């Protein structure tokens, strides 16, 4: 095996982990694959800014390191080891979230990027959560947030019969779901609401 990646050569768990995930783009590729298996072109689209040769090389290295494998239909998916990085991705996201300002002009955005922050807002199972289906439109493909049987899931695609449709910038949508702002504030910041926004209050306690 070619150890192309420069190892830190330190007997330390953090250093060993960074030998596998410390290179540029690796954790962002993991972010995309945490939502399920993806084709090469889908990954390239979800990683604006990556060069095609780098994506190919990273996928090869991640495969050699046991993070990624190919499916029967030639898509890429995380191995069990790769799935274990969910906690790492969420830990970094939680840490970085407070220092995210409003979205700026030069920032790229993909609608699937709201899956992790929204999932983090509604962890685990809470039977007191109401049945609720929300369609979110932040640009690109619409996303569906569904609360059912106490569990909240986020999927790509529009909802069949949403109770609520939120259309606007991603930072405003997330702030509203997190109840850091209320509906009038969100509307002042560019959000359009179809349906009864008061349903959100029962989804997440203040």
Partner DNA sequence: CTGCATCCGGGCCGATACTG
Partner DNA sequence: CAGTATCGGCCCGGATGCAG
- Which residues make up the interface to DNA (CB under 7 A)? 4-6, 23-25, 39-42, 49-54, 56-57, 59-60, 74
Exposed, middle or buried, 107 (CB in 10 Å: 0-12/13-18/19+)? Answer: exposed
Regarding 149 and contact with a second copy (CB under 8 A), the answer is no
CA–CA separation, 181 and 164 (whole Å): 17
One of 51, 56, 91, 188 touching a second copy (CB under 8 A): 91
CA–CA separation, 109 and 5 (whole Å): 29
Contacts 24+ apart (CB under 8 A), 9-17: 17/88
How far is the CA of 59 from the CAs of 9, 19, 197, in angstroms?
23, 15, 42
Nearest to DNA of 42, 156 (CB atom)? 42
Minimum CB–partner distance for residue 28 and a second copy (Å): 6
Regarding 103 and contact with a second copy (CB under 8 A), the answer is yes
Identify whether the C-beta of residue 112 lies closer than 8 Å to the C-beta of residue 156.
Answer: yes
Nearest to a second copy of 65, 163 (CB atom)? 65
**Where along the sequence are the contacts to a second copy (CB under 8 A)?**
8-18, 20-22, 24, 27-28, 31, 48-49, 81, 84-85, 87-89, 91-97, 99-100, 103-104, 106-110, 113, 116-117, 170-171
């Amino acid at each position: 095996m070619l150890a192309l990646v420069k190892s830190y050569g330190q007997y330390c768990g953090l250093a060993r982990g960074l030998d596998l995930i410390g290179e540029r783009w690796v954790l962002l590729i993991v972010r995309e694959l945490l939502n399920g298996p993806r084709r090469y072109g889908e990954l390239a689209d979800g990683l604006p800014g990556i060069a095609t040769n780098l994506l190919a090389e990273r996928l090869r290295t991640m495969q050699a390191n046991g993070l990624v494998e190919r499916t029967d239909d030639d898509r890429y998916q995380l191995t069990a080891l790769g799935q274990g990085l969910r906690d790492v991705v969420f830990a970094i996201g939680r840490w970085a979230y407070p220092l995210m300002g409003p979205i700026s002009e030069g920032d790229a955005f993909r609608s699937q990027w709201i899956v992790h922050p929204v999932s983090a807002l509604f962890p685990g199972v809470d039977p007191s959560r109401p049945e609720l289906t929300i369609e979110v439109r932040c640009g690109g493909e619409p996303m569906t947030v569904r609360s059912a049987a106490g569990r909240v899931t986020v999927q790509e695609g529009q909802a069949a019969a949403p109770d609520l449709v939120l259309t606007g910038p991603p930072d405003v949508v997330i702030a509203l779901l997190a109840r850091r702002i209320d509906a009038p504030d969100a509307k002042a910041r560019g959000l359009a609401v179809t349906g009864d926004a008061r349903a959100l209050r029962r989804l997440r306690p203040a």
